[in-house]
Structure 1
Amino acid sequence: MSLPESALPAAPSAADAHDQEAWRAGFSAGLPTLFGIAAWGLVVGIAMVKAGLSIPQALGMTLLVFAGSAQLASLPLIATSAPVWVIFATALAVNLRFVIFSALLAPHFSHLPWRQRFALGYISGDISVALFLQRFPVEAPAPGKLSYLKGLMYPNWAAWQVGSIAGVFLGSVVPPQWGLGFAGTLAIVCIMVPLVINKAALCGVLVAGAVAVAAAGLPYKLGLLAAVVVGMLTAMAVEETLERFKGRP
């Protein structure tokens, strides 16, 4: 007995097939970074417990905040019972770089409903944004953009949460002599090096590193924000200068 045609599953449309392909492409692009992201999450999870947070508090922080640098910056303040406004201001200052990331992504996805943009903003990460802009450097519409971004962001978020939650439960048993903080830093360096793909990016990284060292003494980790802003402006200026020279006869 054959099923009526209306009962048969619909064949995937060309758009659906393209979205699935774009999602897989995004996942493949971000796959090499997932181990480093999980390692960094592990370090932050351990740090939260070592700073005195209970397991429920640490789990709530990693699920709600999802920002390793802001979490690490706020932990010493929490441990010393700093005022709540100081903790929030510090986390905000450290995470101001995401305003820049959002401004870079906004032209690509301004057509989406605000709730969807809000959700994408929550799960965005430094490396995911960098890889997306590497693949789609211009704002012109292109099929598969959103699916490619999701293929980057969803696994990135999952890898972070798995690592961080594991760190929360391991925090009470891992001895400090293991030096996992340095291991996490090395993992992030290994992730970032392949992203330095041209002279402009290299100049931006070098300038950002110099500014970060010079401004390390600024309060509330503002040196990190200054390094990000100056590094990005440097990379943009160098890229514009190189393009200008290329256009000359």
Structure 2
Amino acid sequence: MIHVHHLEKSRSHRILWLLEALELDYELVVYQRDGKTQQAPDSLKKIHPLGKSPVITDGDFTVAESGAIIDYLVQRYGQGRCQPPIGDMSAWVDYRYWLHYAEGSLMPLLVMQLVFSQIPKQSPWLIKPLAKGISDTVSKRFLAPQLKQHLNFINQHLLAQGNFAGPWPSGADIQMSFPLQAMAAVQSLEKYPAIAAFVSRIEKDAAWQRVVERAGPLTMPGQ
């Protein structure tokens, strides 16, 4: 039996989506964030030394990191599902690229955006104006232009292809779901219609709806 160690308000929702898409049985082990720090509880370190989510256990195997988990589940249980057809090298190149791009290129920008947005809120009142000024400058001069470039890039790919790679939903679609859903939760995607359509498609997906029924809707830290 696969056990999913699922932290609320985290990236593990997409692992549940893959499991539902593959129609696999699994047990959901839920962890709550600390109300003040929003960090994962120390009990997760009993499962994996870093105490992060998502992490799954499957027999003798403990697998952490979303991309590694997706690879493991698709290769062990996919039977051709949620991945490009064998021999379609173009689709496989896209599949591997987006599987790694999500955490390697896009998520660091989103995490930085979250961190800098919290700095003024967490600063002592005496330095709040200074902290806000620094945060706004970093956001305006670095983060916003970078995110705009990435969103245009993603939107163009989705306009051309419809999804990220292979049949819907592929492991690449599932990996990319979290950062795009996270962005949709905090900003308008009016300028990026293909991304908005992708997020809407997730919400209408039968496997995703089963995730919501079982684990609740996806929410973000601070919400």
What interval of TM-score do these two structures reach, taking the shorter chain for normalisation? under 0.3
Larger relative helix fraction? 1
Of the two, which has the highest radius of gyration? 1
TM-score normalised by the chain length of structure 2: 0.28
